[in-house]
Chain A
Amino acid sequence: MASGITLEKIQKRYGALPVIHGVDLKIEPGEFTVFVGPSGCGKSTLLRMIAGLEEISGGELRIDGERVNETAPSKRGIAMVFQSYALYPHMSVYKNLSFGLETAGMKKPEVDARVKKAADILQIGPLLQRKPKALSGGQRQRVAIGRAIVREPRIFLFDEPLSNLDAELRVQMRVELSKLHQQLGSTMIYVTHDQVEAMTMADKIVVLRDGRIMQAGRPLDLYNDPANQFVAGFIGSPKMNFLSAKLDETDASHRTIEIAGQRIELQKPLAAREGEPLTFGLRPEHIQPQDNALSLGSASVQLVEHLGGSTVVYASTQDGQPATVLLEGQRPIRIGETIPLSFHPSKSHVFGQDGRRVC
């Protein structure tokens, strides 16, 4: 059974220092939610508060409508997978899996059945008698997940569980975790600083910065419709290009802006003040090396990455601003070459001085 979680004005202070500033969030039952953000943004703290490992300084945490601020971690129906795996090194894999069940006083046949079921799901049956030191990183990761599964929790919490794995294994485990979510249907909250993990796994992404939610929503909503410059820059790889721009003072309709020496008319008016410095955002894949009505002018190529399936061009606009272009397929572009840059107006974003989106 999956559970819904509600965070209302959740705060965390260490002494006088506030680190989480009144977070409001609703996580639906069965949803795979990813907390993402740079180091120190408070994502792990928030997760640990939900787990009960950190005291909540203010606000209310509810699971299935019931306040759980003061409820012990083991009574919240939550299981957690730690970044370091936190496997007990002196216990066999079986003992690691059964520890929580034995602690709860469960009868041995049921413990056996649950351990076997989890081992089957994660394909770690042959490892049950081994000690953690005899396991590879990926196997340890599976055991750590198994330890969460056996408890049949309503909610799974993952604290950067893939960060200790190599790139290949990380991709593999990412897929397996997504399958596991589909299989179990439980509510899962996953913390990562890797936006690719967030985009590929999440039903809902919560982008955090300095203890505040910058935006929460479906991955593609955040990608296509970022609420602010921080989210726009954080989500997407290669990251969004940000070019300095300004409102054309002669344009009364507030649609025309100047970027890289080019005057460009947007489809919607800007919610910006006269003379306010603006930032024009364009994703690398939304820039084309063609002459077009909406041209950014020409740019000189500084570096080219030929990835086989795609080509990444790092260029410099006429006024010296860096622009990254992601092109499909293999392109015969060379360093030092000058290429035209154009874009589709519906794919552009404009941000005000304070980072909010103005168009």
Chain B
Amino acid sequence: MALHSEILSKESRPAALRSRGAFGGVLERNAAGYVFLLPWLLGFFGLTLGPALASLYLSFTNYDLLQSPDWVGAANYVRILTDDPKFSAAMQVTFTYVILSVPLKLAFALAVAMAFNRGIKGLTLYRAIFYLPSLLGSSVAIAVLWRQLFASDGLINMALWQLFGFEGPSWISNPDYALYTLVMLSIWQFGSPMIIFLAGLRQIPTDMYEAAQMDGAGKARQFFKITLPLLTPVIFFNGVIQTIEAFKAFTPAFIISEGTGGPINSTLFYTLYLYQEAFGFFRMGYASALAWILVIIISLFTAFSFLGARYWVHYDD
């Protein structure tokens, strides 16, 4: 390859190209490639990198969308970290949500994947059906449906009354329960990790289990000593992805609390608080600072996850 490049550069390259210098030559040679890349490049620079850098700048300003940004240095960050009780509330709600929803969702996804891995008939159909909530899960429609289900006169309470004669509370209006209905909604969206777990389970050679069977290991020991350790790369991947998703969760809380984060801030997800600051109070600078703190939290979490992975994730090679 290197030899080929050298031949091209010294002998076969047209004279016009050589005169324009190396950069021009590379650009011309790869023009078709860049044309194909253009939509992505436009999207990345215009919709991701550009706004991200803009928000970084804005996080050091006061900006209300109407007047020019006013540079305030680190004041937004200082206020968020030292003098913002709503930030603390949002952090508490978000961390509770992450800590509860991620492990429960992964456990549920793994359980369903293991059931599917037993080679049941119609697996493809079931897999599609079970994956459906994940496709719809973040949508407004599903959040509205969830709101209807868990309302005081919703289907859940009707079922509880019909089956057990128990009069359930208004799950989404009660600060003691509201967050947990959102956790349940998150668990219900187990399709994506389930599909990945299923693929991971399929990768474990059956003769591992047969060897364990010959060694006298029962199902439980096989699960804890063979399945779980061999699935750790997949658990790690799902864990990181789902945790990031959970930190970023917005739509369910927005719909169920009608954008308030209530009752009594019990569903005030971090992103919802950020949204309120940005589009409720038009404090774009402050909201940008909140966004960058979330970026730092997620980055730290991801970095620590990767650092810790070497102690519990088993890679075959």
> Bound pair: A and B?
yes
Q: What distance in Å separates the Cβ of B287 from its nearest Cβ neighbour in chain A?
A: 45
Q: Which of B211, B230, B316 contacts A133 (CB 8 A)?
A: B316
Produce 1/0 per residue, B17-32, CB < 8 A to A: 0000000000000000
* A interface, size bucket: 20 to 34
- A99-B225, A133-B316, A133-B317 known; A88-B214 Cβ under 8 A: no
- A99-B215, A103-B216 known; A86-B221 Cβ under 8 A: no
* Contact indicator A73/B214 (Cβ below 8 Å): yes
* Contact indicator B216/A100 (Cβ below 8 Å): yes
**Residues of chain A with a CB closer than 8 A to B316's CB:** 89, 133
* Contact indicator A86/B226 (Cβ below 8 Å): no
Number of A-B contacts (CB under 8 A): 61
* Contact indicator A86/B210 (Cβ below 8 Å): yes
* B interface, size bucket: 20 to 34
B229 adjacent to chain A (CB < 8 Å):
yes
- A90-B314, A99-B225, A103-B221 known; A80-B214 Cβ under 8 A: yes
* Contact indicator A74/B213 (Cβ below 8 Å): yes
Closest chain B residue to A84, Cβ basis: B207
A 68-106 contacts with B by CB, 8 A:
72-75, 78-80, 82-84, 86, 88-90, 99-100, 103-104
B 199-245 contacts with A by CB, 8 A:
205, 207-208, 210-217, 221, 225-226, 229-230, 232
B 275-317 contacts with A by CB, 8 A:
314, 316-317
* Contact indicator B229/A90 (Cβ below 8 Å): yes
**Residues of chain A with a CB closer than 8 A to B213's CB:** 52-53, 72-74
* Contact indicator B207/A82 (Cβ below 8 Å): yes
Q: Which of A78, A86, A90 contacts B207 (CB 8 A)?
A: A86
Q: Which of A83, A89, A90, A100 contacts B214 (CB 8 A)?
A: A100
Q: Which residues of A contact B (CB under 8 A)?
A: 51-53, 72-75, 78-80, 82-84, 86, 88-90, 99-100, 103-104, 133, 147, 151
Going nearest first, the 6 A-B pairs with the smallest beta carbon separation are A74-B216, A100-B215, A90-B314, A86-B211, A86-B207, A90-B229
Q: Which residues of B contact A (CB under 8 A)?
A: 205, 207-208, 210-217, 221, 225-226, 229-230, 232, 314, 316-317
6 pairs from A and B in contact (CB 8 Å cutoff):
A53-B214, A73-B213, A86-B210, A88-B211, A100-B216, A133-B317
